Amino acid sequence: MSTKEIRLLSVSAILGYGFPEASLKAGMARKPDMIGVDGGSVDPGPHYLGAGIPFCSPIAIKRDLRLMLHAAIEAGIPMVIGTCGGAGGNPHLDLVAGMARDIAREDGLSFKMALIRAEQDKAEIKRRIAAGGIHPLAHQPELTDAVVDRATRIVGMMGPEPFIEALDNGAQVVLAGRSSDPAPWAAMCIRAQLPPAPAWYAGKMLECGATPSIPKGHDSLFVTVRDDHMDCEPCNPIRRCTPLSIANHSLHENSSPIHHIEPGGMLDTSDCRFDALSDRAVRISGMKWNPAAQYTVKLEGVELAGYRAICVAGTRDPLLIGRLDHFLESVRAEVATKAAAFGATPDTYRLGFRVYGRDGVMAEREPKRDAEPHEVGFVIEVVSQQSREMAAAVLGVARANMLHTDFPGRLCREGNMAFPFSPSDIDVGPVYRFSVFHVADVADPCELFPIEYEMVR
């Protein structure tokens, strides 16, 4: 492995999003030193971490994983995946590890596999709280033992160091729980003695596959990293990296457009240059890395918030639309009275109306308050703190009153609403909310992330 150049292939934005096989073949023809993919994110919200299920289809995940495994084993290079299964808890990691074993058995593959766990022991978290080693992120309260006890699952977000340890110990397939999105690629570069600044920036590009290219799509990206720059080029000939597309991508998912906080430090992109090498490839240089005085690990945890049921409906009655707020308040009042009769008082549930066609996307932030739609759609939502059965019961009252509540000038004596589905009411199930968004001080970047090794045959 060269200490001056590392070639990295990212197959897609997330494992299970898919990618063209031709793009994988083109990327492998350029002889990468590593093939990888980001496996998940907090972007889809807290549900998947709480429920322990993936947000991509297992069928789609296994398809992508099979292609990657074959490519890596045939080329004799590492295959690395971070945040396996969407949220990076133990169930998510075990799901993808089980798929890797199944594929090996079905297709006759053999490899050494490392599993890096990110799910945290609650007793250890409480010990660190007592020692003063856990701190809240912006706008968060101090973490308490009670919050930890209520948490369904807590994960730590690892940096590159656990990946480096797994690779140093001979793992060809590295599957990790929750990790910083760029960390797997940064690990490969740092392990090869490349500076952290281009290593982290390369990871920033690779974490979303070909998203830094145009037209945007779930596809593969090839990045070559050197001491003071990197070159980015999509593997699919229909896509192009341009200075603008690269610069645009570097802004995403950060509160600052130029300062990107990562485990162990900050990537400073304020002096970056973006130079076109061709009409499809871009060279990025000028990034800087500022090490943190204290290495910290972000903790993410969720707790059960209740049980959700929803109903979809719509109307094009101009009289109802003209007094929509009054109508919804009437429905809300009817629900409060009738639901209380079977023990669902307003303090035990949340009733919400998302009004599409008026402000369903931005709610109270919608600036076009004077729009006059000819039809509106409703997503009626109930979240009950009591049970999923109570959520369904309150929703049934809300749906019936949306259908039949009267209003001045009403001409139709039957229903007010059109329902696109039967059954109209949908039991969504448990609802989770983020309850832990904190950082833990660590002396060793690997100490919260135990690694298991196995030979897969």
pLDDT tens, position by position, 429-455: 999 999 999 999 999 999 999 999 999
Q: What is the mean pLDDT of residues 10-30?
A: 97
pLDDT given for residue 2 in this prediction: 42
Measured between alpha carbons, how far is 72 from 172 in angstroms, rounded to an integer?
8
For the chain, give every domain's residue range: 6-118+158-295+442-456, 304-432
Token pair listed for 262: 């990562």
**Beta strand segments in 277-342, E:** 282-285, 288-291, 296-315
| Total H helices, total E strands in the chain | 13, 19
pTM for the whole thing? Answer: 0.94
Report residue 14: phi and psi, to 5°.
-150, 140
pLDDT given for residue 362 in this prediction: 94
Pick the CATH number of 304-432 from 3.10.590, 3.30.70, 2.30.29, 2.30.30: 3.30.70
Measured between alpha carbons, how far is 164 from 334 in angstroms, rounded to an integer?
60
**Bridge partners, 440 (sequence order):** 134, 297
Residue 339 DSSP SS3? helix
Exposure string of 186-221, with b = 16+ CB inside 10 Å and e = fewer, is bbbbbbbebbbbbbbbbbbbbbbbbbbbbeebbbbb
pLDDT tens, position by position, 137-178: 989 999 999 999 999 999 999 999 999 999 999 999 999 999
**Beta strand segments in 146-276, E:** 151-157, 173-176, 221-225, 229-234, 259-262, 265-268, 273-276
pLDDT tens, position by position, 356-412: 999 999 999 999 988 889 999 999 999 999 999 999 999 999 999 999 998 888 887
Neighbouring C-beta atoms of residue 372, cutoff 10 Å: 8
Residue 122 DSSP SS3? helix
416 vs 24, residue with greater confidence: 24
pLDDT tens, position by position, 36-61: 999 998 999 999 999 999 999 999 99
